[in-house]
Amino acid sequence: MTLVAGVDSSTQSCKVVIRDAKTGALVRQGRAAHPDGTEVDPEAWWTALQEAIAQAGGLDDVEAMGVGAQQHGMVCLDESGAVVRDALLWNDTRSARAAADLVEELGGPATWAEAVGSVPVASFTVTKLRWLAEHEPDSARRTARVCLPHDWLTWRLGGEFVTDRGDASGTGYWSPATGEYRTDLLRLAFGAEPGLPRVLGPHDAAGGHGSVRLAPGTGDNMAAALGVGAEPGDVVVSIGTSGTAFAVAGSPSADPSGAVAGFADATGRFLPLVATLNAARVLSATAGMLGVDLDRFDRLALEAPAGSGGLVYVPYLEGERTPNLPDATGSLHGLTLKTSTPAHLARAAVEGLLCHLADAFDALGLDPARVLLIGGGARSEAVRRIAPAVFGRPVVVPEPGEYVADGAARQAAWLLGGGDEPPVWEAGGTEHFEADATPEVRSRYAEVRDGR
């Protein structure tokens, strides 16, 4: 059996899967936690990767590996390759002012969307570089090269300074439409042009780690699309640390409203995507407030009536990115003696999160044949059962798994097998959830969200 490994170096943890390159069957897996926070020493990702690989039984019998990782994070390296400062992650909002300035300086949102497919908000690397130039000029001066989390891990593993189309499309200085860097935008933001990783094609080799051949890797959402086998006609809603709604597309997109990021995918196509800062942690934070575990939280949420008796939870706990409200906070509206129960609060949190994700889904402007629900939050029974009511359409939940790591493993199998398309792997089981639509839950949420 030929084995391939896939990595998901995400916000909260690192996961490694080892799969049969031919069938995709899972052979073994491991995971390790990442530190909390929105700035992280990349060395912590390296340590977690080693731990997750060891837990997955090592790489001695593995032929190829791909690395998927959280998008956008700014990793600055000096002349010697040492990290200049902690990486600023996608969910760090300190560069919100820089984002607004850059949008104005280039001539407005439509100009950015036209240039790089997306209108930069604080998540995008280009805005973090502007922040660095303005606030930490010494670090900026020492920055000889800049890359993303998956690029950095691939470089540490194999020594090649490379990236892929998918992750490059989240920088704000690479155009999915032309497949070229926009170093003029890098210079606009940073006042200099640090070295950038070479952009590989979807199944190009990225060097090797000992005898393990390295695939190009990609951003976690692009890897998830590959891992779950998303096809045109599907919308994937992922409830991880971030919430995302995305679709595979045959042509690049450019949304001047900024809601839809016009990313590239990991197969040579495109991945229009709406991302939120708040997702699965809304559930764990509320469970924490209630002093219950996630299972008990689910049961509580399912005890309360649809609409939570009028209690509305706007889940902007970390500020928000879509809508672009970096300084927003969460709120609860509609507390009465009747709604002041753990069950009402739990249900309101689930409904608030799902309304928020339904807004993201709507922004894509698609009427898909299938809506696939993935990510850690999709393990919640309450989320699975309430999602079709709030979305107003059935949802398909693939069996719980590590779809980002799976996509990275499938990319590694593609590297070994070659060809124009990734290998076809046996699909796992799915569960289908249907429910009567509850449009009144969305309209009440919209009233509170908009302060009406």
Ligand X SMILES: Nc1ncnc2c1ncn2[C@@H]1O[C@H](COP(=O)(O)OP(=O)(O)O)[C@@H](O)[C@H]1O
Residues marked as catalytic: 220
Residue 408 C-beta: closest distance to ligand 5SP, Å: 13
Residue 167 C-beta: closest distance to ligand 5SP, Å: 9
Helix runs in 77-148, H state only: 96-106, 109-116, 125-135, 137-142
Question: Distance (Å, rounded) from C-alpha 259 to C-alpha 326?
Answer: 14
Q: Is 72 annotated as a binding residue?
A: yes
Q: In sequence order, what are the residues at sequence separation of 6 or more whose Cβ sits closer than 8 angstroms to the Cβ of residue 440?
A: 307
Structure tokens at 139: 């670090």
Q: Which is nearer to ligand X, 112 or 361 (CB)?
A: 361
Q: Strand 87-88 to strand 180-181: parallel, antiparallel, or no bridges (unpaired)?
A: unpaired
Residue 10 engages ligand X in binding (rule: CB under 6 A): yes
Residue 153 C-beta: closest distance to ligand X, Å: 15
Helix runs in 310-438, H state only: 342-364, 381-391, 403-417
Residue 97 engages ligand X in binding (rule: CB under 6 A): no
Q: Which is nearer to ligand X, 95 or 380 (CB)?
A: 380
Instruction: Pick what 308 binds: ligand X, ligand 5SP, none; C-beta below 5 to 8 Å, kind-dependent.
Output: none
Site string for ligand 5SP, 235-274 (x = CB under 6 A): -----xxx-x----------------x-------------
Q: Look at residues 204, 208, 202 and name the one whose alpha carbon lies nearest to residue 63.
A: 208
Q: In sequence order, what are the residues at sequence separation of 6 or more whose Cβ sits closer than 8 angstroms to the Cβ of residue 374?
A: 224, 228, 236, 237, 238, 239, 397, 398, 403
Q: Which of 275, 328, 363, 390 binds ligand 5SP (CB under 6 A)?
A: 275
Instruction: Pick what 244 binds: ligand 5SP, ligand X, none; C-beta below 5 to 8 Å, kind-dependent.
Output: ligand 5SP
Question: Distance (Å, rounded) from C-alpha 170 to C-alpha 70?
Answer: 10
CB 222 within 8 A of CB 70: no
Between residue 153 and residue 192, which ones bind ligand X under the rule CB under 6 A? none
Looking at 56-215, which runs of residues are DSSP E strands?
Answer: 62-69, 75-77, 87-88, 145-147, 162-164, 174-175, 180-181, 198-200, 208-209, 212-214
Instruction: Pick what 372 binds: ligand 5SP, ligand X, none; C-beta below 5 to 8 Å, kind-dependent.
Output: none
Between residue 282 and residue 321, which ones bind ligand X under the rule CB under 6 A? 283-284, 294
Q: Which of 93, 127, 241, 411 binds ligand X (CB under 6 A)?
A: 241
Residue 72 engages ligand 5SP in binding (rule: CB under 6 A): yes
CB 67 within 8 A of CB 216: no
Q: Which residues bind ligand X (CB under 6 A)?
A: 10-13, 240-241, 280-281, 283-284, 294, 375-377, 379-380
Q: Which residues bind ligand 5SP (CB under 6 A)?
A: 10-11, 70-72, 90, 123, 170, 219-221, 240-242, 244, 261, 275
